[in-house]
């Protein structure tokens, strides 16, 4: 019985249990259209299902809770391609792993849809054996043909993104070739980490490179950047709703030596790269 009690006590002191402790606070932060209970389940499941993430969260639970706060305010699902939770080494923590949240391409697409002006967002990767045609000024959108039944489409060579507005108009088309994506990747200070999405989910990061630039040309881009900056600038302990009675204040994060990696810093200038 003592062993069971000790196991429960240990579990209840872990980062997943801390999410449950602050359930009401997170529920107050998520936008009204987001199911708070489902959001909490995703956050808890992401940590309990990955030992590296759980250990990184234990190393500084305040940092972990702060990153979840950013996801909550943006209304994005933590531990998914909307909002990655990734372990990263921190010099301030003696090079131990801590949690870093990174908005994924699906998260940016969700924020674009949320503005209400866009009916469809197209973001696709182009591989070597695909057929891709697009002439700016002549074509309103690319023609991308894929041999879905071929054995191998080949390596990634490019990526593109555009939006169709609700009035039928087509936004600016963003096209990035391999060189341009690699330039964006080079600006990420986590690119060499085994946990970086650039190494664990490369195609998704190519897609993000394009859709981030698209966000400059559709109505949500300014809103998205304002919300990002606001969420990152707030002190982690500031909450929209007060804690429930008997609940301790949410732990404050320790100072990070690397404030904001290139993955989610200022957007790269939107441009067309043939």
- Rounded CA-CA distance 86/78 in Å is 10
**Across 102-127, average pLDDT:** 94
**Across 111-123, average pLDDT:** 92
Six-digit token string for 84: 């990655």
- Is 41 in contact with 16 (CB distance < 8 Å)? no
User: 138 or 222: which carries more pLDDT confidence?
Assistant: 138
- Per-residue pLDDT band for 119 (boundaries 50, 70, 90) equals very high
Q: Check pLDDT > 50 for residue 269.
A: no
| Residue 254 pLDDT | 35
- Rounded CA-CA distance 262/97 in Å is 18
**Across 116-133, average pLDDT:** 96
- Is 76 in contact with 107 (CB distance < 8 Å)? yes
Q: Check pLDDT > 50 for residue 191.
A: yes
pLDDT tens-digit series, residues 199-241: 999 999 999 999 999 998 987 544 545 555 565 555 334 444 4
**Across 22-34, average pLDDT:** 93
User: 219 or 101: which carries more pLDDT confidence?
Assistant: 101
| Residue 231 pLDDT | 56
Alpha-carbon torsion, ordered 121, 112, 183, 264, to 10 deg: -150
φ/ψ of 19, rounded to 5, equals -60, -45
| Residue 193 pLDDT | 83
| Residue 228 pLDDT | 52
Lowest mean pLDDT, pick from 5-19, 63-77, 116-130, 245-259? 245-259
| Residue 226 pLDDT | 58
**H or E element: which one contains 225?**
helix 221-233
**Where do the structural domains in the chain lie, given as residue ranges?**
2-264
- Is 106 in contact with 211 (CB distance < 8 Å)? no
For the entire predicted model, the pTM comes to 0.75
| Residue 261 pLDDT | 35
| Residue 233 pLDDT | 57
- Rounded CA-CA distance 2/4 in Å is 5
Six-digit token string for 261: 């990696």
């Amino acid at each position: 019985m003592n062993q069971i009690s000790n196991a429960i006590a240990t579990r209840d002191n872990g980062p997943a249990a801390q999410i449950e402790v602050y359930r009401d606070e997170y529920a107050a932060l998520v936008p009204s259209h987001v199911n708070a209970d489902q959001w909490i389940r995703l956050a808890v499941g992401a940590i309990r299902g990955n030992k590296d993430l759980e250990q990184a969260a234990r190393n500084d639970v305040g940092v972990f809770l702060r990153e979840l706060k950013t996801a909550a305010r943006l209304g994005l699902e933590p531990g998914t391609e909307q909002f990655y939770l990734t372990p990263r080494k921190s010099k301030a923590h003696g090079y131990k792993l801590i949690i870093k949240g990174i908005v994924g391409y699906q998260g940016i697409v969700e924020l674009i849809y949320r503005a209400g002006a866009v009916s469809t967002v197209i973001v696709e990767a182009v591989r070597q054996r695909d057929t891709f045609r697009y002439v700016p000024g002549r074509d309103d959108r690319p023609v991308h043909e894929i041999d879905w039944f071929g054995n191998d489409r080949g390596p990634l060579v490019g990526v593109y993104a555009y939006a169709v507005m609700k009035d039928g108009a087509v936004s600016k088309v963003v096209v990035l070739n391999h060189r341009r994506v690699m330039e964006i990747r080079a600006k990420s200070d986590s690119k060499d980490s085994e946990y970086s999405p650039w190494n664990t989910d490369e195609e998704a990061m190519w897609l993000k490179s394009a859709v981030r630039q698209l966000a400059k040309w559709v109505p949500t881009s300014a809103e998205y950047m304002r919300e990002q900056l606001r969420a990152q600038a707030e002190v982690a302990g500031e909450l929209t709703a007060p804690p429930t009675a008997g609940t301790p204040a949410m732990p404050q994060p320790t100072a990070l030596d690397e404030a904001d990696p290139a993955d989610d810093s200022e957007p790269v200038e939107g441009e067309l790269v043939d």
